[in-house]
Structure 1
Amino acid sequence: MKVRKLLSGVLVVFLFIQVLLVSAPDVQAAASPPGLSAESAALIDVASGRILYAKNGTKKMRIASLTKTMTAIVAIESGKLDTVVTVPPEAVGVEGSSIYLKRNEKLTLEELLYGLMLRSGNDAAVTIATHIGGSLPGFVYMMNEKAAMIGMNHTNFTNPHGLDDSNMHYSTAEDMAKLSAYALRNPVFRQIVSTKVKDISWEGEQWDRRLLNKNKMLHLYNGADGVKTGYTKLAKRCLASSATRDGRQLATITLNASDDWNDSAKLLDWGFAHFPIKELVSQKENVKPDTPVTMEAGTHLVAMNAFRYPLQPSEAEDVHKRIVLGESIINGKMNGKLVGFMQIYLKDNMIGQVPLLVNVDSPTSAKPEAAGRSFWHNFWEIVAGGLWSA
């Protein structure tokens, strides 16, 4: 009975746990990384959330306009892209990069997001923030709430653009890598940051604004598809980069890097070369319980989803699995029922878990439980399925 109650509780928090697992850094392997000019850097596998490499990864640093990654993802998740936004007076003439917004000019939120991420418009950042948050302090609160949710434990935002306004606006390379990975899982964000050229409206003018993406990695590196440049006098050169090869995406962060383009290219090359994706669990794989359980003849436990993870070849021997079940007796009437999880560990760190379903050789024995089977199957297909099959 206690085990069943425990499983019930696990179901409630299961999806939240997966978010934490995805965003948490893992034990780093021993392969020698390239030399970098960056004071601080990190490399992350986007799908799994594994930090593959970090240099001074938890050192608090100024992050300049990499801040706008958070501004963009909060706006995308909280607003509607086709909403028409009026430029407030406080957004006009903000120092630094600009898309030259005019007071009371009207643009859609989507257009402002392109101005924010391609041209790093600080005026666009303030306009977006006041629209979404009601005020700059209101939006900054939303930014920090999102940072806490993602697991950015060494980050504090005080503005939506990253200008040097105090020592209280900071993050770390690892935290910004987590943010990049989180944002890149959003299709709208991915589309924006991978765009090289975009025309948006310019109210009162005879032509549109033509936005050329400042991120040279989109032209310099094969497969590059994001993310954001940054610079202030105090932060120096900062860069968030991403690239996709053979369906697999990596992202890098370099902070205070005099040779940021080459730093990012070296890290991406190194990550693709040294951390191939390994399928640790296959979809519908038969799973043998490692705890005492009575299995009726003809019944099996199967993995609902595949689970893949970036590993160096030498790490394969450090992977182990644990079966957690909420039932001590498995019979044919439970066909399709979720009864537990397979937890996957790399050494002592749990890197993921996969739902386990009951499967029987003959579906006829499962008719009394057909409704329950359909509910659980559809629930996990819709809510959790994509997290482990990416």
Structure 2
Amino acid sequence: MKATIVRIVLCLLFFGVVAISPANAETIEAEISAETAILIDEESGRILFEKNKDQPMRIASITKIMTAVLALEHGDLEEEVKVSEEAVRAEGSSLYLQAGTKIPLEDLVYGLMLRSGNDSAVAIAEHVGGSLEGFSIMMNEKAEQLGMNNSYFNNPHGLDDHEQHYSSAHDMARLMQYAMKDEQFRAISATETYKTDNPAEDWNYEWRNKNKLLTSLYSYTTGGKTGYTKRAKRTLVTTAEKEGDRFIAVTLNAPSDWNDHIRMYEEGFEAFDTITLAEEGKQPLVQAPEGKDVYLHEAIRYPLTEEERKRVRQAATFHSPRERRSEHEERVTQEVGHLTFELDDRTIARSPLFEEKQLDQQEGWRDRIWRMIRSFME
């Protein structure tokens, strides 16, 4: 069946806030202390403001966002990690771990993100990657997977011991956007103080987050990671949420990074409003060629200025059905097309359209067997 295109020309009119003007954007850029910076929408990845966003830079301890992501994806937080001599010898910020002690991976990740422990970073890398070299390979594979084309990782902590260790503001925003999809990462990143047992001493660990935007300076902050080395200078990645808008800010080599982030957030929250372009579920304004109902499995949301909302157009494209089965086989779906939203002839959002059938209505032989097994076991 050839692709059938149904165009539904809708002008989405909403009420909203004042947009950032080009002149104001130039003013913001001039006032941002960072050599490179970016503000993006967490959900869609849309760039809301940028300054030299793709310039490769030293990144210091915001490297540890990648280290935390790999620890969560490839490790078990309840596993105990044996601290090596090499981990204890790591320079710079430290959790003051002792060689030979065993510490839960969860505690090490909290210490990594809140207190930026370089000893913790090495211990995690050795445990998850088998060695520092093996972990670096994992870091670069993940960077490639995420499209971080201006990045290369040579260690798990960001210290200035390798010339070939760098990233860009845009790449670090991509990484943080990916990381924030993980519930455990979000919880760790948002933690202000963490207390845990110390297996080597009579006193217990208590780590307070170094992210001052989170702990005191900006009430809308939801997480982030700080960084500093003599060569990289101050680096910072943060997240913030206000009235349903969720943004990510990154600054590299920023003498006044706290103020840079607050300025970008305030301008972004004023200029953009995250709009629900299409709700999850049945799409009453979209009809398949055969007249069947079509559905979205997730709502489509996108940040827009007031003027942009007036220029958004919606289009539905259909193709031959493609069967999809949910992870736990609770439902089978037929992907029949896509719902697309365009702004000034540029695609800003695209999501599959489905015809849906519940398996309890069309139960297959495998489902009947599993149902019989579960009934027998009960």
Q: What TM bracket, shorter-length normalisation?
A: 0.7 to 0.9
TM-score (norm. length: structure 2): 0.82
Shift of 1:29: 8.1
- Give the match for residue 270 of structure 1: 267
- Give the match for residue 339 of structure 2: 342
- Give the match for residue 295 of structure 1: 290
- Give the match for residue 218 of structure 2: 221
Q: After superposition, what is the alpha-carbon deviation per residue over 1:306-332, rounded to whole angstroms, capped at 9, x for unaligned?
A: 21100112222443333221249xxxx
Structure 1 contact 279–307 (Cα < 8 Å) conserved: yes
Aligned partners of 1:109 and 1:241: how far apart in 2? 23
Shift of 1:232: 0.5
Structure 1 contact 31–274 (Cα < 8 Å) conserved: no
1:313 aligns with 2:311: no
Structure 1 contact 3–326 (Cα < 8 Å) conserved: yes
Aligned partners of 2:289 and 2:221: how far apart in 1? 52
Q: After superposition, what is the alpha-carbon deviation per residue over 1:312-366, rounded to whole angstroms, capped at 9, x for unaligned?
A: 12222443333221249xxxxxx9743211122333443332232348xxxxxx9
Secondary structure of the structure 2 residue equivalent to 1:322? strand
- Give the match for residue 110 of structure 2: 114
The more displaced of 152-161 and 202-211 is: 202-211
1:63 maps to a residue whose letter is I
Shift of 1:269: 1.0
Shift of 1:167: 2.5
- Give the match for residue 323 of structure 1: 316
- Give the match for residue 80 of structure 1: 76
Q: How does 1:144-155 map to 2 (within 5 A)?
A: 144-155=140-151
Q: How does 1:132-281 map to 2 (within 5 A)?
A: 132-218=128-214, 219-281=216-278
1:371 aligns with 2:357: no
Q: After superposition, what is the alpha-carbon deviation per residue over 1:89-124, rounded to whole angstroms, capped at 9, x for unaligned?
A: 211121100001111111000000011011100000
Secondary structure of the structure 1 residue equivalent to 2:362? helix
- Give the match for residue 370 of structure 2: none
Aligned partners of 1:347 and 1:169: how far apart in 2? 38
Shift of 1:2: 6.1
Secondary structure of the structure 2 residue equivalent to 1:154? coil
Secondary structure of the structure 2 residue equivalent to 1:264? helix
Structure 1 contact 101–123 (Cα < 8 Å) conserved: yes
Aligned partners of 2:74 and 2:33: how far apart in 1? 37
Aligned partners of 1:42 and 1:66: how far apart in 2? 15
1:99 aligns with 2:95: yes
Instruction: Evaluate the alpha carbon distance shift between residue 135 and residue 280 of structure 1 in structure 2; reply closer, same or farther with a 3 A threshold.
Output: same
Structure with the higher helix share, 1 or 2? 1
Between the two proteins, the alignment pairs up a number of residues equal to: 334
For structure 1, list consecutive stretches of 5 or more residues without a partner in the other structure: 5-27, 329-334, 360-365, 374-390
1:183 maps to a residue whose letter is A
For structure 2, list consecutive stretches of 5 or more residues without a partner in the other structure: 5-19, 322-331, 365-378
Aligned partners of 1:339 and 1:372: how far apart in 2? 22
CA root-mean-square deviation: 2.7
Which protein, 1 or 2, shows the higher relative CO under an 8 Å CA cutoff with sep ≥ 6? 2
Aligned partners of 1:305 and 1:368: how far apart in 2? 20
Q: After superposition, what is the alpha-carbon deviation per residue over 1:165-215, rounded to whole angstroms, capped at 9, x for unaligned?
A: 233101001111111111112111111111111112222211111111111
Structure 2 contact 3–317 (Cα < 8 Å) conserved: no
